[in-house]
Amino acid sequence: MRVLITVASRHGATAEIGSAIGRVLTEAGHQVVESAPEEVTSLDDVDVVVLGSAVYTAHWLPAAREFARQWQDELLARRVWVFSSGLATQPAASANSPHELLALRERVGALGHRSFAGRLQRSELAFAERALIAGARAKEGDHRDFEAVAAWARDIAGQLAVVREQTVA
């Protein structure tokens, strides 16, 4: 199937999670294209969309939210999975889940959502970002768990394999 991986990322950590998902789906025999949300001009040649965003101040980045809004009708007609990546850990599952997530999932008819731990490198942050994060308990470092990412991608591949079998049968 033709898969679009589209990820909103400010410092690249979430984009790399998207690429890791893309590699697993490519290995599973799918045609994968990666494109930034604001660069997508059509979903005509796409069967499956994986939409992700880094979480900043408890929200998805505007580019990912705008993508979901702009392409809502097309997304509802396709198989869509969404993921978030952030560093909030208090409490683990809900804190790095953006506020608008439920509405967003419904808007695009997402079949699933996962939150993955992200990466924080204070040296690469803009001044305003450093000020914002100063009071937070977020720990510096790369907390991404690429095995968990690959496992989720394999799960998606498994679900797509079922669809493929049903289409052929």
Ligand X SMILES: Cc1cc2nc3c(=O)[nH]c(=O)nc-3n(C[C@H](O)[C@H](O)[C@H](O)COP(=O)(O)O)c2cc1C
Where along the sequence are the contacts to ligand X (CB under 6 A)? 9-15, 54-58, 85-88, 96, 118-120, 125, 129, 132-133, 138
Phi, psi of 86 (to 5 degrees): -155, -175
Which residue's CB is nearer to ligand X, number 11 or number 164?
Answer: 11
Which residue's CB is nearer to ligand X, number 63 or number 161?
Answer: 63
**Rounded Cα gap, residues 59 and 98, in angstroms:** 5
Question: Coil, strand or helix: which one is 28?
Answer: coil
Q: How far is the CB of 167 from ligand X (least distance, A)?
A: 34
Contact status, residue 67 vs residue 37, Cβ threshold 8 Å: yes
Which residue's CB is nearer to ligand X, number 62 or number 109?
Answer: 62
Which residue's CB is nearer to ligand X, number 54 or number 108?
Answer: 54
Phi, psi of 39 (to 5 degrees): -100, -5
Structure tokens at 19: 């690429």
Q: How far is the CB of 161 from ligand X (least distance, A)?
A: 29
Q: How far is the CB of 37 from ligand X (least distance, A)?
A: 12
